[in-house]
Amino acid sequence: CLYAFSPPEDQGASPVNGPSVGSYQSSGKRKVHSKKKKGTITANVAGTKYEIVRTAISEMDFIKARDDDETANLIWNDSAVQHEKIAELRNYQRINHFPGMGEICRKDCLARNMSKIIKCQPQEYSFIPKTWIFPAEYTQFQNYVKELRRKRKQKTFIVKPANGAMGHGISLIRNCEKLPAQEHFIVQEYLDKPFLMEGYKFDLRIYILVTSCDPLRIFLYNDGLVRMGTEKYHPPTEANLSQLYMHLTNYSVNKHNENFERDETVDKGSKRSISWFTEFLRINDYDVTKFWGDISELVVKTLIVAEPHVLHAYRMCRPGQPPGSDSVCFEVLGFDIILDRKLKPWLLEINRAPSFGTDQKIDYDVKKGVLLNALKLLNIRASDKKRNLAQQKAEAQRRLYGHGSMKKLSASSSDWEKQRHTLERRREELKERLAQVRKQISREEHEKQHLGNYRRIYPPDDKLLLEKYESLLSAAFQTFLAGRAASLQKEMNNPLKRMKEEDILDLLEQCELDDEKLMGKSSRQRGPKVGERERGRETKSRERIGSRCLMGPKERRVSNTHTHTHTVVFCFSTGRMHWKPPIKSLKTNTAPSVSPTLSGPIRRSISCPRSIASLLSPSEVRALSTRPSPSVPLATPLTRPSSATLRSHSLSRSSSAHRVPHSSSLGTIHSNIGDPLINLRSKEQEAELVRQTLSALTSMRIRFPGKTEEEAEAVLDEILDNWKYHKAKVASYWLVKLDSTKQRKVLDIVRTNVRSALQRIWREPDVESLHLYRLFHRVFNRLLWSHGQGLWNCFSNTGSSWETIFSKSSEVVSPQELQCCRRLVQLCRDCLLVVYKFVSESRGSLTGLSPEWDDTR
């Protein structure tokens, strides 16, 4: 009887739960109790005039809140909101505007910020026309016009209000002397050779969703609007400058023309879809992939310019919110882009409140998809409010009772207490970062399942492209936040931000070992004995591969008393990772001790196996370790794979091929992980390969562009013979005029070639797993230490030598490996001198690297 009176589906009934008792009334209508409303998502749309927004909210089954309800899960406003309102939001709420986004959405702010970034990255930001802000840049503009006149050239300029919209106040000019000097507007070069379609000029409205600024996440909608002019295009002349229907593509302007076509077919009319335009390009043999790649790069680079402003403003509004937590802000932006006749995209302007009017069916279809897919990507849940209240209660109790707060050190604290305090700080920071990484993994899983017609363009999947964007992001922070927000810039450069889940778990395990050693307790058993009981445990572990997570190291490692383990120690003072020596074998304990300071074992998710050994039984490891290597004669004995060897593959930054797929069977896992174990080498073979590497490094020389090898040697000899003359100039160039990015670029000339040599000699595509390469990596970090002071110390007898990184460590470094490192440092010294001489002889000053040095050969 209870299910017989269940309400229809559009009232939100669940066929599983059914209505609650008492929900059916004698009148036959369902009365929803307040208890039922607690599980709903509310949306406050009082700040919008667009009906399509309310339609999307309704289709998402969100409940429309009262106009004065400030506690709704979603708040939508057509215009930008005050910073105070964002600061007052609770963590479970979402609002559709970021603070600080006006830095690229106002025409004058966009021009000002682009001008700054173009000075340091001119090649990357060549997609915006030359722009002048009046009245501040009136003189520069007149000088530019005079230069054009001297060259007997004449250009057309477009004048726009600094904060205008919908085409209001826009005009074209060719006689620039008539421009008033004191009015506030911007002047931009007019693109007089646009890409035409059926003889008409047009622009593209691209919809972009920014879901977070901390970290930055950008999505591009695969559809949009093509907005065409309503008169056939002709190059601008004095006679047709006033014909705005020809030169302007704004819908708000052209809709008043009698020639405006409101056609419902996809290939006709003055407004069409970008999906149709993409097909038009494909049919006419244009490179569609390059076209969308250029559009994506333009969008990402533009938002990189905004990121320092937005992130700084967001942190000011939300000071207590930890990095990486769910953003309370999101934004749908409208990018207006025009194409020239070579199909190169040019940025016109950015709208932070794009119109969601639906005058035509094409508007309704495109804009409804933009909104619905965006709301799905946001992952707004009814449980967010309840979870947030519980977190606030727990946080209040923690502050009240002091749980989780670390004891402060006093001046009389002993060395043991200081070490414990440092260890606790290290562990807390690692745990916090681990939580952020896992939350990010969960967020990405949701995004992959709910992309709809969006695609993520930042962070990109292409690693090379990601490195390029991160370099631009670093340059943007240095440009726009120079001298302020020091803590924010320090956080952006934190090495933990680039570490994966397995790396952080390795460091946490090392913290446990350090804690046990500090407490004077015996280290935990590194692995079970090879017996039937443990073998059965490993079998159960393999059967749980599809489960949610794997347990701690006790269930993950396979070892015996002869296995040595290399570990990673992260130095917080220098931000580097150090490889510690093998831990001596300990007696096996049946009851391993656990640090009293840990609340429990750190669980490792199934997507992050601790090592290959965690997936194999002891007998399988022995079988793999005794398998002959094809690159080694069969008579050569092979050593048993150590835990360090196995761990190196899980620590590799590019080891995606060795990660365990979620849906793979155990046999598939074996086929994936068997290959690296085949390449194990004996000590004699490694020594021979190190000797070959030393020979290759010795034969390397730094090439001087345009000179022979003998001439390059003569250049180096001349600098060293006249060192007193060159010393101050080299110091000024390296330590003062080059920033950290360009210093790293100089050493990357050596790093790239050494990496190629190691790949060739060791026949190992992933050289990061090699012990020798890890030594080289530490040397490079040491040379870049303290803004390049490490390398400069190599030119003088003062300061700390780079060799102290080995002398202060008990790690065993063979004499040949040390010679390789010395030769590496010598190559870096020579490289700096050649770069210094090359730049000083070029026509430019010693302010940076020539584009010719992008070729690292």
* pLDDT value, residue 423: 84
Residue 96 pLDDT exceeds 50: yes
Q: Burial, 226: exposed, middle or buried (Cβ in 10 Å; 0-12, 13-18, 19+)?
A: buried
Interatomic CA distance for residues 360 and 334, integer angstroms: 18
Q: Considering the domain boundaries, does residue 67 fall inside one?
A: no
Strand 202-213 and strand 185-189: the pairing is unpaired
pLDDT category of residue 492 using cuts at 50, 70 and 90: low
Are 460 and 289 a contacting pair, CB within 8 Å?
no
- Please give the model's pTM, rounded to 2 decimal places: 0.61
Residue 831 has a CB neighbour count (10 Å cut-off) of 20
Residue 556 pLDDT exceeds 80: no
Q: Considering the domain boundaries, does residue 707 fall inside one?
A: yes
* pLDDT value, residue 521: 58
pLDDT category of residue 490 using cuts at 50, 70 and 90: low
Q: Considering the domain boundaries, does residue 818 fall inside one?
A: yes
Mean model confidence pLDDT for the chain: 75
Mean pLDDT of 610-622: 37
* pLDDT value, residue 486: 64
Write out the two tokens for 162. 């600094």
Residue 767 has a CB neighbour count (10 Å cut-off) of 20
Q: Considering the domain boundaries, does residue 291 fall inside one?
A: no
* pLDDT value, residue 564: 40
Write out the two tokens for 545. 């591969």
Q: With pLDDT > 90 as the criterion, what percentage of the chain qualifies?
A: 29
Mean pLDDT of 492-507: 74
Name the residue range of residue 343's domain.
101-209+219-285+333-353
Identify the weakest region by mean pLDDT among 259-273, 286-300, 389-403, 521-535.
521-535
Interatomic CA distance for residues 770 and 779, integer angstroms: 14
Identify the weakest region by mean pLDDT among 132-146, 689-703, 765-779.
765-779
* pLDDT value, residue 161: 85
Please write the tens of the pLDDT for every residue from 830-852. 999 999 889 888 754 444 444 44
Alpha helices, H only, 708-845: 709-721, 723-731, 740-762, 771-783, 785-792, 804-807, 815-841
Give the residue with greater pLDDT, 606 vs 413.
413
Number of domains into which the chain is organized: 2
- What φ, ψ does residue 98 adopt, rounded to 5°? -95, 145
- What φ, ψ does residue 630 adopt, rounded to 5°? -65, -25
Q: Considering the domain boundaries, does residue 274 fall inside one?
A: yes
Element (H, E) at 142: helix 138-150
* Residue 28, C-beta contacts closer than 8 angstroms, at least 6 positions apart: none
Q: What are the CA-CA distances from residue 800 to residues 253, 550, 797 (Å)?
A: 68, 44, 9
* pLDDT value, residue 432: 84
* Residue 249, domain CATH: 3.30.470
* pLDDT value, residue 267: 77
Q: Considering the domain boundaries, does residue 697 fall inside one?
A: yes
Q: Mutual orientation of helices 740-762 and 785-792 as an angle, nearest 10°? A: 70
Q: Considering the domain boundaries, does residue 339 fall inside one?
A: yes
Measuring CA to CA, which residue among 304, 375, 104, 351 is closest to residue 204? 351
Q: Considering the domain boundaries, does residue 95 fall inside one?
A: no
Mean pLDDT of 620-635: 37
pLDDT category of residue 509 using cuts at 50, 70 and 90: confident
Interatomic CA distance for residues 826 and 829, integer angstroms: 5
Are 61 and 12 a contacting pair, CB within 8 Å?
yes
Residue 357 pLDDT exceeds 70: yes
